Amino acid sequence: MNAFLDQLSSGAAPSAGTFLMSASPLIAEAVGCCGFDWAIIDGEHSPIDTMDLAHMLQALGTTPTVPVVRMAWNDTVLVKRALDAGASTLLFPFVQDAEEAQRAVRATRYPPEGIRGMAGLSRASRFGAVPDHFKTANSRIGVVVQIETPAALDGLEEIASVPGVDALFIGPTDLSGSMGLHGNGAHPDVQRALQDFARRCNALGKPAGTLAASAEQARQYGEAGFRFVAIGSDLGLLTGNARGMLAKLREG
Ligand code: 3PY
């Protein structure tokens, strides 16, 4: 009932995505035409607001790439707006314990399972055209929580066991920051933590995801048991290629 979760349960591991940070529906559509299984519309580290989000969802909706929306924070009001705009899979940054995971899940569910506010005329209900929207919407929502600190790793089993937590994503950069390693996701201690995370998620029967810097690293993460891996971002692909091209030109 949820396109992202369906991919995780049926696709060959790992499924491949990328981050969309440019707040551009045109770029979202272009990326969606490249063959990614899914793309994370990044509401945490970009200027994307709710209207940008609605337009980017419209654009991705014309492509086979499934949208995941990363919230700026685990905030009930922001969740309500993202879901009303038509998001159906949400990624929650910086979830620290089971209570925060529970709060995230509850924000995504209409009563009685949760506290999502009810509005009849939203993109989510096709402006009222989806029959029984309020009764059926809960079963279409996917919740992915992001693990970014040693404390969250300590409580991984409790967080993953919260009903409604469908998958877990480990952020190598923030994890390295909280480990005192200054954003160095490639540090051996961070890489060991990632491997352990994937192993434990698999033991719990929950799909593990992360971010890779390259296709080669994404393949290695797949071998380590990750089920979904983002490779870079629209801005990273653009700036990386631009800098590489100019460096080649200027050394020649
Ligand atoms: C991280 O690597 O910390 C992330 O949050 C991915 O964007």
Note if 45 is an active site residue.
yes
Q: What is the pLDDT of residue 50?
A: 97
CATH number, residue 212: 3.20.20.60
The answer, yes or no, to whether residue 84 has pLDDT greater than 70, is yes
Q: What is the pLDDT of residue 10?
A: 82
Q: What is the pLDDT of residue 11?
A: 67
Between the CA of 249 and the centroid of ligand 1 the distance, in Å, is 32
Q: How do residues 220-242 score in pLDDT, each as one tens digit?
A: 999 999 999 999 999 999 999 99
For residue 64, give the 3-state DSSP assignment.
coil
Please work out whether the CB of residue 211 comes within 6 Å of at least one atom of ligand 1.
yes
Name the H helices within 61-187. Answer: 76-84, 98-108, 133-136, 150-154, 156-160, 172-178
Between the CA of 153 and the centroid of ligand 1 the distance, in Å, is 15
Residue written as token pair 């491949």? 16
The total number of structural domains in the chain stands at 1
Q: What is the pLDDT of residue 1?
A: 87
The answer, yes or no, to whether residue 252 has pLDDT greater than 90, is no
Which atom from ligand 1 is nearest to the alpha carbon of 42?
Answer: 7
Between the CA of 27 and the centroid of ligand 1 the distance, in Å, is 21
Q: How do residues 172-216 score in pLDDT, each as one tens digit?
A: 999 999 999 999 999 999 999 999 999 999 999 999 999 999 999
The answer, yes or no, to whether residue 19 has pLDDT greater than 90, is yes
Q: Give the mean model confidence (pLDDT) for residues 96-120.
A: 97
The answer, yes or no, to whether residue 114 has pLDDT greater than 90, is yes
Q: Which domain holds residue 162?
A: 3-251
Residue 40 and residue 18 in contact, taking contact as beta carbons nearer than 8 Å: yes
CA–CA separation, 221 and 6 (whole Å): 20
Please work out whether the CB of residue 209 comes within 6 Å of at least one atom of ligand 1.
no
Please work out whether the CB of residue 174 comes within 6 Å of at least one atom of ligand 1.
yes
Q: What is the pLDDT of residue 13?
A: 72
Residue 234 and residue 20 in contact, taking contact as beta carbons nearer than 8 Å: yes
Q: How many angstroms separate the Cα of 54 from the Cα of each of 41, 86, 96, 181? A: 10, 7, 29, 36
What is the residue-averaged pLDDT of the chain? 96
Give the contacts of 112 (CB within 8 A, at least 6 positions apart).
none
Q: Give the mean model confidence (pLDDT) for residues 109-128.
A: 96
Tokens in use for 162?
Answer: 């919260």
Percent of the chain with pLDDT over 70: 99
